[in-house]
Structure 1
């Protein structure tokens, strides 16, 4: 699935506090943001304007308008009036639920946001000073930020962040000369190619001289070459956030800066390639928060960084810093936040930590060193960092046991140690002092959780990750008291037990649940609809029973594959927002319900290895929404029937189609190339398809794996194979939807892990192999066990990226193409059980990657080529059996010596076998006749000496008898 990097996701507690203080300063004046309501009630014209605005709202999931009744609009939710004038001066309708839970909203398309249009009636609110509509759907394709907002001359606060506006930001916003706060970041709302908002001319910005906070993150500024000069004319600016704006950096750095009040600077995802010590922000002694996350910085830390002594938060994660010297930071005594994830520090952790400013050890609250190639053991003096609240050391090479001193950090709220080489055990005594703990990740280590079942933790976890930790064999009953958990991962934890009765109720508020790869038994409840917050369920590879329950409405990803579910699929199982539905390797029977057609966000549907029967549902244009999103459809090893599914004509984004091992019939359609242009993996083997291979199939430029084996396909192999570009040249592999990635929510990218899920089963090298993540590198063509005739086309040798070619068990004739050596990537080649003749091309021995070869049961002849690769095949003799006129190693049959004409067995082709048997018969007859004549001759000579002719000669023809007598 797609992932989004946002400025909010990189904000930490200290940065948030910093911004809060800034905003508090901005809005502190009671004259500006009066919270009291005028006793006289609101003004009629303003109430009518608000009611007209409400009329344009089609959906209000948060019921923000439920209180918009009665005459006094100053008492309505989100509305505030001046206690001096009675005019409406504040309208706050922000979608708090969306902005407060980013992860959930990614998968639910902002279900809490209002939908509708912004009525121009709001212009009647002449005294409006505060307007916040953030996180709502009040725009749409082609809808710009309303220009009439420029008429709010009193406005000092404008927040339109995370909305679905399109187009150019109106320059009329420059008329809001009293504005202190402007937030138009378009995070989470993109059109798939980038920001939906852009600025073509930024000359209006300097007309906001009072501006203190500016956030234009994910607003495209690539057309603005002078953005820095415009920003530099805002002397009161305290916070500048230009995350992911496609900034154009001047060739000549701006040395002088007028931003003498700037405290917060976010330049993350800005395309920085180098740190120039002359850049304007290095000399700003006022900066307290600097974010350079996710750029392409690769040099050592500049010395100028050490002079920024006011820094409290420094974000450098997601770069390529090399030669990192922590000593550069030794003067940053105010440092509270340091994130360095995904930089190659390549040092012992003790050595690096010792270089950080000693004067800040007791002040640092947030330290993220994930994925930095740190080694060694965590030093015991880590307990000197007494204010640590967030410690992230994920995905390094740390080893040894987790020191007891770490568990003495009583302020720890978030502790991430996953993806290392820690060993030993974690006991309840270790965790007993972490009373403030909210997030704990010990996944992917060799740790054993030694916690008694009756232990009551002193903390309440929100995020609990123990994947790969040994918690079993009994279910960890101490989790029963963790009722605040919203992210739970106990996968591959060695649990062999029944699922407790309390499990679903205790974790009814989870957003993410993963109990996969255990041996957990139990019956699924009839409904899970009460788990209204759930987004991801991963229950695969257990022993769960029952039928598919009714699913939570917000659920986006469901995996219950490799369990023991039975019964039919419900006609309507809920979860209309499903993106991945994986139910393979169960015992589900019945037919596939037509409800599948209505899942408009479905990306992956995997129902393989069940007992499903009947035809696929007929998804008509009126009923189907599936076609808009489906990337992978996997139905192999069922008892499905019918012709090739016609509804796939509208699935234009399909990448992977697997209908193998079913009972589909009929001819393959000719519309595949036109309707499925992105198809990369096509698996139709072991069905009853007939007809010929459509020539149009070879027009699929992304097609890199084709399996048509074990069908009834006849005709010849198309000569247009050269059109299969993905098999003929190195191309960028499309994403394999079956190996989808799931988000384990965390504060960095290090927890974005591959989802180990169903794979394609590929017959290669004589074996059934499973390909998961590596399927993107698999290039194969399997046409075996059909009724194909004719010669192997020479064009096939242009598919130079093939790793597997199997056209065995057909009726192919002629010679093996002489240029077969061009298939330089072949690992497996099977041409067995055909009617091929002639010699084996010598170039076959030049394919260095070849490890499986089968040419058996053909009419091949001549000497077998020699070469290191062919000699290293496993059981090489079996590769050639059934070819009676092949000779030379590895066969015991030796090739004949040269005859009198210089010829040998290798030159009597292609009719060597026929001539051999004819010659053998003629020689036998001639030899027998010669012996007979010799006996006759001797008898005749004896009779001549005695003067008598034996009576038997009288029966010979007269001429022949006379000649014999004269002999």
Structure 2
């Protein structure tokens, strides 16, 4: 590529113009200078680890014959020391995994100052520093140096200004972006004026060196007239405010300011008038300005990298004069155009020259144009994560130089056949993930290419296993997940893909028995086989394996006592038929972060890991729900200080909850212990866990009261973030457009909410809940619970709680489910309950609540609202059929209604008394009448009227 060619040019110039002696071999038979030999031996004495045995040849008197040492063929003086660790990229894994790295370890002896003629020093990729160990100042005394490479080392602290004494320097590389054995090591510069003393400098790389304190870095760099390559990636550069009057960088060809926190590319502050720049990379910054027209004047540009910014108004016709353009990356900017229109605006004079075109995540629409075949030099085409639609044109198969084709995350449809791929003989990486494509490829087709990356998630490849993959033995990353495959795993599968690093066949219906061992897959790093029909036992795993997911299959038998993969980080085996006990080998996995053995048939106690190791465990998530495990709360968790998620639900654990939770598990965020036999009270120490956002202690034997200190759970009272959460994969995998992150578990946490069991997927990251139901809790509901305003689920049902519902319950605005049923709660329902607009499930049944049921807002749209209040004999009003005299929703004077009711009942009583008196009087008159009739001579004035007498008789 262009960058590599330019870099090679700089290297050649930097190492040949200084002195021919730099690369000259020792040709005379005399021994090297004794003082320099002694200096080299002192240097070796400071190296206490030499994995590559670079010093094995350091024998005899002639140091010029030693490995890594070159001398002048004229003077015998040491002019070159080359101890570059060419395998330092491999050390990224080795250092992480604890395997033996290739880098030297030790320190740089000051004896090197005796090498007065040293012109070339390369110690890159070695561990010769450490936390608090800066670049040695004495290196500034090696004034003959023209080449100094200290990149990819582990120095820390201030870059010594003494490097400004190296006035002959042509090449200076302090790249600190890749930090081996990183523990916070950071180089920084407080004063860059020493750079002005290096006028001959042609190559400068200070990537990863913090320049945040340097406000005049542009002016300083502008004083290096011979500079040809400048790399300042990840340097935290400050914003530019002083315009450049005149640029002295008349030879600058490479400018790389990737990921340095830049906000502006205002032409007044930059090098747009440098007509020699061929490589310009400003990717991964914070530039949100309009696309600068000045770029269109940089006619020498061959490489233009602007991806990962927020540029607006990106118009391709601005680049119409860039006829030398070979690499264009605009990913993650908002182009917001039709793909065909944008491509037509790019310089036609460069259509046949462009080798790399990356416009991923730019909101492109439309179809891939058929005339894409005119871009005959295209080697890399990346159009991922846009809104492209329609079929993939057959013409894309005419791009014979194509090595990488990324069309993932679009709305492409139709089919892809052999005709699309038959002439792509150079194809190495193919990503068609997350489209609606049918792979209509014959099972006996033999592809002309050898893929290294093959990504087909959610493409229809089945129902038969794609046999055309049989010849792809060079595949490193293979993903055929959710591809509609309903077939047996072919016999050749494991041998053909024995060199894979990433393998994903999940979410199909693939059958077959796992082999007894996968140790032969020595490069394997990530295996995802979940949600298939695989059988067998857990095999012996590859040594380098970091992530394994064989959940939702049919694995059986016990876990092996030693299943390999000593450096594994994530082990997911949930929902199988694994039985037996958890082996002690789990305790020896010193890098294990996630262990999920849920929904199996495991029995017995958890192993006592403290007896196996004295090292703290890095485990972040332990998920063991729905087994038959027993014992007290696991004591080995005391050494798991980084634990975030603990799920022991649906087992037979017993005893009291420990009081050391806050001290030993300070980062605990999810605690799920439901359906066990835990007893005792809720320890106050539990409420000191500041990160705790989900607590489920339901269906145990816990007694006592609810601690008022639950108000200390700050994570339940704030917005939840997913950064650093163990439920998100840390390693890169194909981008899923359905989510901005990749959840590790399909149902890592089963939440009882809204009256039902819900399998939470990625949403578990945002779950904030408290479930204390089905215990023996007594006392009142603490008012302090209403401060947990982030709660989405609160369930304290089926206890013996009394008192009233807290008046400020309406503050819990995020509640989706509230269950207080089956308690002895009394009093009225607070009106503020209607303020919880997110509420969709409410259960207050079977308590002693009274008064009018509040109305308004969400309470009117609850599911089966009447059942929310049954079992409370003194509640009235809608949705119950029981009317009440209390005021309606419009309000009123309750005392007035009570007074009216009092008068009503008094009147009713008076009427009853009067009626009773009237009956008494009538009976009395009747008695008198009968008495008068019995007399011989009745008196006329005492005789009753005939009508009344008749009535009395009938009565």
TM-score (norm 2): 0.89
Shift of 1:761: 1.0
Q: Please give the alpha-carbon distance, in whole angstroms, between the structure 2 residues aligned to 1:64 and 1:128.
A: 19
- Equivalence for 1:517: 507
| 1:358 alignment counterpart | 348
Check if 1:136 corresponds to 2:131.
Answer: no
Residues 906 and 572 (structure 1), Cα distance of their counterparts in 2 relative to 1, 3 Å cut: farther
Which residue does 1:205 correspond to in 2? 195
For the pair 1:795 / 2:803, whether they are aligned, the reply is no
Deviation at 1:510, TM superposition (A): 1.6
1:305 equivalenced with 2:295 (yes/no): yes
Q: Match of 1:263?
A: 253
Q: Which residue of 1 aligns with 2:327?
A: 337
Q: Secondary structure at the match of 2:561?
A: coil
**Pairwise CA distance, 1:828:** 0.5
1:570 aligns to 2:560 (yes or no)? yes
What is the aligned partner in structure 2 of residue 20 from structure 1?
8
Question: Cα deviations across residues 233-280 of structure 1 (Å, max 9, x unaligned)?
Answer: 221111111111111234222232222111111112222212212123
Give per-residue Cα distances to partners, 1:687-710, cap 9 Å, x unaligned.
111111112222222221111111
Q: Does 1:583 align with 2:573?
A: yes
CA distance in 1, matches of 2:576, 2:61: 61
Deviation at 1:132, TM superposition (A): 2.4
Query: Over residues 10-46 of structure 1, what are the superposed CA-to-partner deviations in whole Å (9 max), with x where a residue is unaligned?
Result: xxx3222222222233234581442534352763745
Q: In 2 relative to 1, CA 129–567 (structure 1 residues): closer, same or farther, beyond 3 Å?
A: farther
Query: What is the aligned partner in structure 2 of residue 281 from structure 1?
Result: 271
Give the alignment of 1:520-919 within 5 angstroms.
520-620=510-610, 623-627=613-617, 629-730=618-719, 732=721, 735-744=724-733, 753-755=742-744, 757-895=746-884
Distance in 2 of aligned mates of 1:437 and 1:179:
42
Question: Which among 407, 413, 429 is matched to residue 397 of structure 2?
Answer: 407
Write the distance in 2 (CA, Å) between the matches of 1:387 and 1:459: 17
1:586-629 C-alpha deviation (Å, 9 max, x unpaired): 222222233333333322222222222222222328714352x3
Give per-residue Cα distances to partners, 1:631-685, cap 9 Å, x unaligned.
Answer: 2222222222222222323333222221211222222222222332222211111
1:410 Cα deviation after fit: 0.6
- Give the equivalent residue in structure 1 for 2:942: none
In structure 2, do the counterparts of structure 1 residues 863 and 481 end up closer, same or farther at CA, with 3 Å as the change threshold? same
Deviates most, 527-536 or 418-427: 527-536
Partner of 2:232: 242
2:431 counterpart of 1:441: yes
- Per-residue deviation, residues 519-541 of structure 1 (Å, max 9, x unmatched): 22222222222222222121221
Superposed CA deviations along residues 436-471 of structure 1, whole A, max 9, x for unmatched, are 111111111111112222222111111111111111
Question: 3-state SS of the aligned residue for 2:662?
Answer: helix
Determine if the alignment matches structure 1 residue 92 to structure 2 residue 82: yes
Residues 110 and 223 (structure 1 numbering): CA distance in 2 closer, same or farther, change over 3 Å? Answer: farther
Q: After the TM superposition, which of the residue ranges 645-654 and 656-665 deviates more from structure 2?
A: 645-654
Separation (CA, whole Å) in 2 of partners of 1:595 and 1:263: 56
Shift in Å at residue 324 of structure 1? 1.1
- 1:70 Cα deviation (Å)? 6.7
1:114-263 → structure 2 map (5 Å cutoff): 114-120=103-109, 121-123=111-113, 125-189=115-179, 196-263=186-253
Q: 1:819: Cα distance to partner?
A: 1.9
Q: Which residue of 2 aligns with 1:3?
A: none
- Distance (whole Å) between structure 1 residues aligned to residue 551 and residue 518 of structure 2: 17
Which deviates more from structure 2 when the two are superposed, residues 210-219 or residues 640-649?
640-649
Taking structure 1 as the reference length, the TM-score comes to 0.88
Whole-angstrom CA distance in 2 between matches of 1:181 and 1:526: 54
SS at match of 2:851: strand
Alignment size in residue pairs: 915
Q: Corresponding residue for 1:962?
A: none
Q: Which moved more, 1:486-495 or 1:784-793?
A: 486-495
Q: What secondary structure does 1:691 align onto? A: strand
Q: 1:727 to 1:554 in 2, by over 3 A?
A: same
In the TM superposition, residue 287 of structure 1 has moved relative to its aligned partner by 0.8
Please say which of residues 79-88 and 838-847 is displaced more in the overlay: 79-88
Aligned partners of 2:616 and 2:502: how far apart in 1? 24
- Conserved 8 A contact 2:278-2:303: yes
Q: Does 1:490 align with 2:480?
A: yes
Is the Cα–Cα contact under 8 Å of residues 25 and 70 in structure 2 kept in the other structure? Answer: yes
Match of 2:310 among 320, 326, 333: 320
The Cα shift of 1:333 comes to 1.0
Aligned equivalents of 1:822 and 1:751: distance in 2? 31
Q: State the Cα distance separating 1:718 from its structure 2 match.
A: 1.1
The alpha-carbon deviation at position 78 of structure 1 amounts to: 4.0
Superposed CA offset, 1:53-107 (max 9, x none): 55554544455556666776655554444444444433333333333x6985796
- Structure 1 stretch 769-778 or stretch 35-44: which is displaced more? 35-44
- Whether the 8 Å contact between 1:78 and 1:91 is mirrored in structure 2 is yes
Per-residue Cα deviation, 1:925-954 (whole angstroms, up to 9, x for no partner): x9xx99x9999999999999999xxxxxxx
1:622–1:526 CA distance, 2 compared to 1 (3 A): closer
Distance 2:517 2:854 in 1: 65
Deviation per CA, 1:299-352: give whole Å up to 9, x if none. 221121111111110000001111111111111111111000001100000111
Distance 1:74 1:556, change over 3 A: farther
CA RMSD of aligned residues (A): 3.4
Q: 1:212 to 1:512 in 2, by over 3 A?
A: same
CA distance in structure 1 between the aligned counterparts of 2:27 and 2:496, rounded to whole angstroms: 46
CA contact (8 A) 2:558 2:579 kept: yes
Gaps of 5+ in 2: 888-892, 935-955
C-alpha contact 1:168 1:199 (8 A) present in aligned 2: yes
Rate the CA distance shift 1:670–1:277 in 2: closer, same or farther, 3 A: same
Change (3 A) 1:85 1:311: same
Separation of aligned partners in 1, 2:574 and 2:39: 55
What is the DSSP-based 3-state SS (H/G/I as helix, E as strand, rest coil) of the residue aligned with 1:726?
helix
Which residue of the partner structure matches residue 387 of structure 2?
397
Distance 1:599 1:941 in 2: 110
Q: Is the 8 A contact 1:599 1:625 kept in 2?
A: no
How far has the Cα of 1:716 moved from its partner? Answer: 0.7
Question: Could you say if the C-alpha distance between residues 670 and 112 of structure 1 is closer, same or farther in structure 2, counting changes exceeding 3 Å?
Answer: same
Q: Tell me by how many angstroms 1:906 deviates.
A: 14
**Closer/same/farther in 2, CA of residues 434 and 547 from structure 1, 3 Å limit:** same
Instruction: Report the alpha carbon displacement of residue 732 of structure 1 after superposing the two structures with TM.
Output: 4.5
Measure, in 1, the Cα distance between the counterparts of 2:623 and 2:899. Answer: 51
8 A contact 1:104–1:535 mirrored in 2 = no
Contact 1:654 1:678 in 2 (8 A): yes
Q: State the Cα distance separating 1:412 from its structure 2 match.
A: 0.6
1:913 is aligned to none
Q: Which moved more, 1:114-123 or 1:461-470?
A: 114-123
Indicate conservation of the 8 Å contact 1:253/1:278, yes or no.
yes
